[in-house]
Amino acid sequence: MTPTLAAAPPPTRLSSDEWRDRADAHAERADALTAAHRARSARGQKHPVEDFLFTYYSYKPAVLRRWHPGAGVVLEEAGERAGWRWYAAVGADGARVDDAGFRDQRGSLYRGAVGILRATLSRNAAFGCFGLHEWAMVYRAQATRHAVPLRLGGPGTDAVVEAHDLRCTHFDAFRFFTPEAVPRNRDALQREGAEEREQPGCLHAGMDVYKWIVKLSPLVPGELLLDAFELARDIRTLDMRASPYDLSDWGYSPVPIETAEGKAEYVRRQRELSERGQRLRRAVLAGLDAAAAN
């Protein structure tokens, strides 16, 4: 039986035309963002930069295409959505996200996602890593992680790692370090305690905002999901431009972090991306907190 949610206090209401227009615009935007990836997939081709978000996170383009209004919004003339998972009927033909049911049945996931978003939002950003995690992933390795040559070759790449202090704070980047690079990191990271180390200057933490929003769907408005995807895409681009790989054949100029000029460019872009990530975290948490208070 489809649950029916009480209407006090009354949430925001969207007419059928309003929410369907937003859903259509969302689908068009999602299709534009995934068009190149879908075309490559149909041809059996791979891209070392742009395909990462679909392989590392394993979310298909269809996940991006489905629009949700977020918690606390009644959709009028939306009876078809009342049968969707994590939705509930309102009145004769309305529907809204069943955020209380989501929090009740997926409490551990909800608390974990919200906890890491809130913890990261509350911290100061660190900008001294210079993207060296990608270099540490090929340090003294016999093969690279991508079918792309190294800009400085193997010995040159190793020399850059050895000339710098590795300061990675993100376990899901650290876990791909080569065995020789692991002891060079300032801290020996583990899965346990990852929340205590997460900080908003980290590129991977910024990409993960996309992951957390997907996990919290449909409690988060679809527009924020696509904003997070665009942020993750831009972060991945900087990540690979600052990496040891030569991506000139793919149309990417390097951010040479082995030079003073490259470091300055990297930090400038890192700050901009960090600020975008913080704005997204703030918007997501504000919506979730407002819904939980009702």
Q: pLDDT tens for the chain, 294 residues: list them.
A: 444 444 445 568 999 999 999 999 999 999 999 999 999 999 999 999 999 999 999 899 999 999 999 999 999 999 999 999 999 999 999 999 999 999 999 999 999 999 999 999 999 999 999 999 999 999 999 877 778 999 999 999 999 999 999 999 999 999 999 999 999 999 999 988 888 899 999 999 999 999 999 999 999 999 999 999 999 999 999 999 999 999 999 999 999 999 999 999 999 999 999 999 999 999 999 999 988 887
Domain boundaries, the chain: 12-129+193-293
In the three-class reduction of DSSP (H, G, I as helix; E, B as strand; rest coil), residue 14 is classed as strand
Residue 8: the pLDDT is 43
Check whether the bond before 221 is cis (ω within 30° of 0). Answer: no
C-alpha–C-alpha distance, residues 249 and 168, integer Å = 29
Check whether the bond before 9 is cis (ω within 30° of 0). Answer: yes
DSSP state of 150: B
- Return the sign of the alpha-carbon dihedral for residues 36, 244, 146, 195: negative
DSSP state of 185: B
Residue 11: the pLDDT is 64
In the three-class reduction of DSSP (H, G, I as helix; E, B as strand; rest coil), residue 69 is classed as coil
For residue 274, how many C-alpha atoms fall within 13 Å in the half-sphere facing its CB?
Answer: 20
C-alpha–C-alpha distance, residues 186 and 169, integer Å = 9
Residue type for position 203: L
Helix (H), strand (E) counts: the chain:
12, 4
pTM of the model: 0.93
C-alpha–C-alpha distance, residues 93 and 82, integer Å = 8
C-alpha–C-alpha distance, residues 114 and 215, integer Å = 10
Crossing angle of helices 260-293 and 203-216, in 10° steps, is 20
